Amino acid sequence: MVTCRSTNGGRGGRNANSHGLPPPQQQKPIHRRNCHSPLLLSFPLRLLLVLLLFGSSAQIAAADSIPPPPPMAPLATCGPNTVLYRNGVPVSAIRAPVTSADSGQEISPAFLLQVVDVPVTSVTVGYHHTGTPTIVVQWQHTEPGTFYYGMLSEADFNAVYNGTSGCREPSDLAPLENGRLVDSTYTAYLPIFEAVSPSYSSLVQPCGAPVTFYWFTRFFNDANTSTSWAAADWVLANDPTNPICPDSPTAWGYTKLAISYCPCPAQPPPPSPPPPPPMPPLPSCGDFTYVTYNGVPVTGYPAPVRSSVTGQSPSPPPPAAKPPKAPRSPSSPKAPKPPKAPVPPKAPKPPKVPKVPKAPNLSPPPPPVGNNNQLVQSFPFFTSCNARDVSVTPYRMSVPSGPWNTTASSATYCFRVAATATVNSASPCAGMTINRMEMIIESGCVDEEPKPVRTATINGVSVVPLLSSKTWKGETYGVMTLRRLADIFPTTPSGGLYICLELARTSRCSTPAGMCYGNSCVFALSNDDFTCCPVSEVLV
């Protein structure tokens, strides 16, 4: 059982000054709730604190046999993971045992871990919880209690704990919230910068030097009779030799660590298919027919035929017999071949003509474009946004291309959202920045486990799609959402957003036609304040 309750951080309900804390100008508060910033949300800070607590001596003995974390893998020059440092050296884990503040006895092992994935539950996918990078606190505990956490930058820590008298243990720590039972252990999902000043998130610069922080983890039992800290570094009570806090009336612990983050450059999108060959020079006159496209003579252009039910291109029919060539001048000796005319035995083939009516049974006649017209007029569901008409924005979505990078288990399909239409510059959404993209999909794609979307990228940057169900006018639809795009692209790139989805080939939603609802993909683009939400559709 985990008890999460409001607290001022003091033991047994005492106020913050019951420990004799220095005045506010000397000790900066550690807890700041809901202090997120766009820079923070773009960092995949995957540091996970794993606390394994045991409540008896037998359990402690068993805990001693727990194998240590794996050794540190070779450090790459760039990548998606945050790198953890201890004393200036990259490490895979920092040992921070849970120790009693009263007796100094080690209660259980604990580690601050680098690159440990979050278990998939109904509230989290991978390293993210509600779209935000997280750390994880995980423990097993037989005695009910309350867990508190907090963090200070190196400058703020040194401003308070610098060897001067009157220092005390940190008191303004945040209580645990959002506990979840996963694999018989309680797990908390906490954004790493949630409990600190918003300026902390800007300290970690991409590909910059490692940045030092001080992490605090404290436990109270329910009776408020004992306190313990999960810490790699320790301050003893009334220890005049301690260089940071020589006269603390209580013992307490902390963990000094450093982190860095260096993402790899975005990979360019796959090349577009080559255009058809150029049109040869057009004679001024002659006995021939030519085709134009957008007013320009061309050799041809793609116009694939697709089923209105499956969205798939049907197998091509056998090639039709070429019409007989016009007889050539007397130079052609093929004239004597008329004896082949006695081949009337082939005449029986005309009876096969009745089979032609079977072709319509393969696919009903295609409906007119826009059979999802009601959805286009009403999507996104349950929003007050009124700027839904696609004519208010220049952004349009291309027909999905692919499959690319096909393997035995997956295939990738891509589409581009770009400013390809002309709109009035006075339109309120003419210069909108795309912050969210939503697409209506089959509800069965949402219910599948594992999810049909393996990975997703935008212009080569990894993103996490959210699949959810919405009921509108009695019908349940699936919705795939890509959120907080403005955190990655504060200004929508001039070349648009090249979105690629890696889909599982064993899924019923393994292609855009199988995933989108009906015979088209209905999508909505929104800015950050939902004043613009133009909706359109593309056939699949």
pLDDT in tens, 343-357: 555 555 555 544 444
Instruction: Note the pLDDT tens digit of each residue in 392-409.
Output: 999 999 999 989 988 999
How many whole angstroms separate alpha carbon 57 and alpha carbon 60? 5
Confidence band (pLDDT; 50, 70, 90) for 498? Answer: very high
Reduced to 3 states, what is the DSSP secondary structure of residue 437?
strand
The amino acid occupying position 422 is: T
Q: What are phi and psi of 408, to 5 degrees?
A: -65, -25
The amino acid occupying position 427 is: S
How many whole angstroms separate alpha carbon 106 and alpha carbon 123? 33
How many whole angstroms separate alpha carbon 55 and alpha carbon 465? 40
How many whole angstroms separate alpha carbon 237 and alpha carbon 245? 9
Label residues 6-37 b or e (16+ Cβ within 10 Å = b).
Answer: eeebbbeeeebeebebeeeeebbbbbbeebee
pTM greater than 0.85 (yes/no):
no
How many whole angstroms separate alpha carbon 116 and alpha carbon 118? 7
Confidence band (pLDDT; 50, 70, 90) for 289? Answer: low
Structure tokens at 357: 């009516």
How many whole angstroms separate alpha carbon 189 and alpha carbon 129? 7
- pLDDT, residue 495, reads 86
> Nearest 5 degrees, angle CA 298-CA 303-CA 309?
175
How many whole angstroms separate alpha carbon 30 and alpha carbon 214? 11
**Pick from 401, 498, 504, 514: which is nearest to 453 by CA?**
504
Q: What is the dihedral of CA 30, 35, 38, 39, to 10 degrees?
A: 0
- pLDDT, residue 411, reads 93
- pLDDT, residue 479, reads 92
* pLDDT exceeds 60 at position 473: yes
Label residues 452-462 b or e (16+ Cβ within 10 Å = b).
Answer: bbbebbbbebe
How many alpha carbons lie under 13 Å from residue 141 in its C-beta half-sphere?
A: 24
How many alpha carbons lie under 13 Å from residue 537 in its C-beta half-sphere?
A: 24
- pLDDT, residue 494, reads 86
* pLDDT exceeds 90 at position 515: yes
Q: What residues pair up with 216 in beta bridges, in sequence order?
A: 150
Burial label for 310, CB within 10 Å (0-12, 13-18, 19+), is: middle
Greater confidence (127 vs 427) lies with 427
Q: What are phi and psi of 539, to 5 degrees?
A: -70, 145
How many whole angstroms separate alpha carbon 138 and alpha carbon 133? 16
Confidence band (pLDDT; 50, 70, 90) for 151? Answer: confident
Look at the chain and count its residues: 540
